Structure 1
Amino acid sequence: MTCSATILITARDAASTIERAVRSACLQGDCSILLIDDFSSDETVLLAHAVAGRRLKVVRPPAHTTLGIARQTGLTALDTPYGMWLDADDELLPGRLESFIEAMEYSSADIVTDGAELFDGPSGIFQAMLPIPGFLIGRSPLARLFERNYLPVTGGIGFRTEFARKIGYDPTLNGAEDYDFLLRATAANARYSLLASTGYRIYGYPQSLSRDIGNQRDMCSRALGKHRYEDVRDLYIQAGYDDRIAHWGLVSMAMYRKQYQAALEFLKRAEQLIADPDEVLEPDG
């Protein structure tokens, strides 16, 4: 595998997990590793260098502010055609980067993702397999992402650098910046490759920002608020869904945006479109 890709790791005070993350990146082959150090006060950078040596490049954002700025700093510093994100407390499984590069080279995908294993961080105990839902496979664009984030690995996607820079990361978001990126990429007709393989290991920690449900809901609401309902409906139709499914999706979108009257109107419209009251709506009924 040629060095056509860089693994990007954002980190702040990640001394307890950074060695595991960087070690898994080194095992992906002869690739560059870019650490975006968000002004760590511990030994994060020193430990990362000890594992990766000269393969590691370190950059910092102008100041410690948001995750959006940290990710954008990494994206700006990238000098390879492809990139792949890795959270500082997670781990890549063997062969993931190679399969992602193949997907982008041979299917012209702009974004690649796959399934994950979920482990409890403090205990290291396995909790669940997180595959990509089958109802997303073969659909383009991925309009269902506007209902909720169905992808197991939002923060660890692979991407074509040129395309990702056109989308960019929102510097105002401190959370859900990865979901916001995918929504705007979908609206821009991103070509996705959803792999059936499992290439990422997530470690869940109580102190993770993603566990702050209130913040996540607020950030997701802001991300969804950038998109007009009529444009999202058009994405559903473009992906081959009927108007009924599209309106159910808009109900969910409106609820996340706390626009409850709009959700009620979409619900009424969806009910009018149902010919069979006993029909079960996928994915979960």
Structure 2
Amino acid sequence: MTAGFSGQTPARARPKKKSRRGKFLVITVIVLGVLLVAADFALAAAGEYQIAQRMREKLQLDEDPSVRINGFPFTLQALRGDYQHVEIRAYGVPIKDEQQGVDLRDLDVEADLLHTRVELSDLLAGNVSKATIDTVKGSVRIKAMDLNRLANQVTPFDKLSIEPDNRVTTTPPADPQAPKTTAAIKLSGQTNVAGRNVTITAYGQIALASGAIQITIDDIELDDTSLKQIIPQLRQALAIKIDPGTLPFGATPTAVEVESGAFKLSGEITDVPLEQR
């Protein structure tokens, strides 16, 4: 008798179903995260708008400046009532004060507000009468357009450009953190002498003088060497003092720089009110 072998085929394991509940939770968390981020940005935008309104009055601008509240999340700063870094930028700003002799038409004005302290409810309501700022770092840039106009009051110049004088090597200061009160400059442009266009390149420096920029020219190069006799006249014409008035929030200028296309005056002030007084 032949013995037969009988075996049972093992049943296939059923594939585990993905947890619908887990999937739903993940989607819910993502949606909530997106909504919270969107709400945070919307709240920040509302705060920036109110600060822009106040800065328009404070800086006496014709238009609202650009305002950015840095740091994320904004809501955490708002709950603390301490906004760590607020950037304010305004470009092409005209400043005219006949009593002070200030007449500039194309300034770039910048202010960095460090630790602006105001309650969120007051900020959103536009009530910043109690708001204070720990430190304001302010600056203005005086561009070539205003330099041309001021120089033309003495001698007609055309297309004057501003550049740092990279030929000059300066000895590192004893205190690297100390503000720089002088900087080497290179001015280039054209002028007209007896009906002849002359290209000039002038080298010198700018220095901080009673809150203004004083230009001193040491050397002038002409493309026509036969006109060397006009160099003293050109040097005098470019010895210009440019006074932009006070910096944002009344900060006193303490440093000067030469950038491509502009002179920059900067300074800082501490413990100042946000509201116009």
TM-score (normalised: structure 1): 0.23
User: Which has more radius of gyration?
Assistant: 2
More strand as a share of residues: 2
More helix as a share of residues: 1
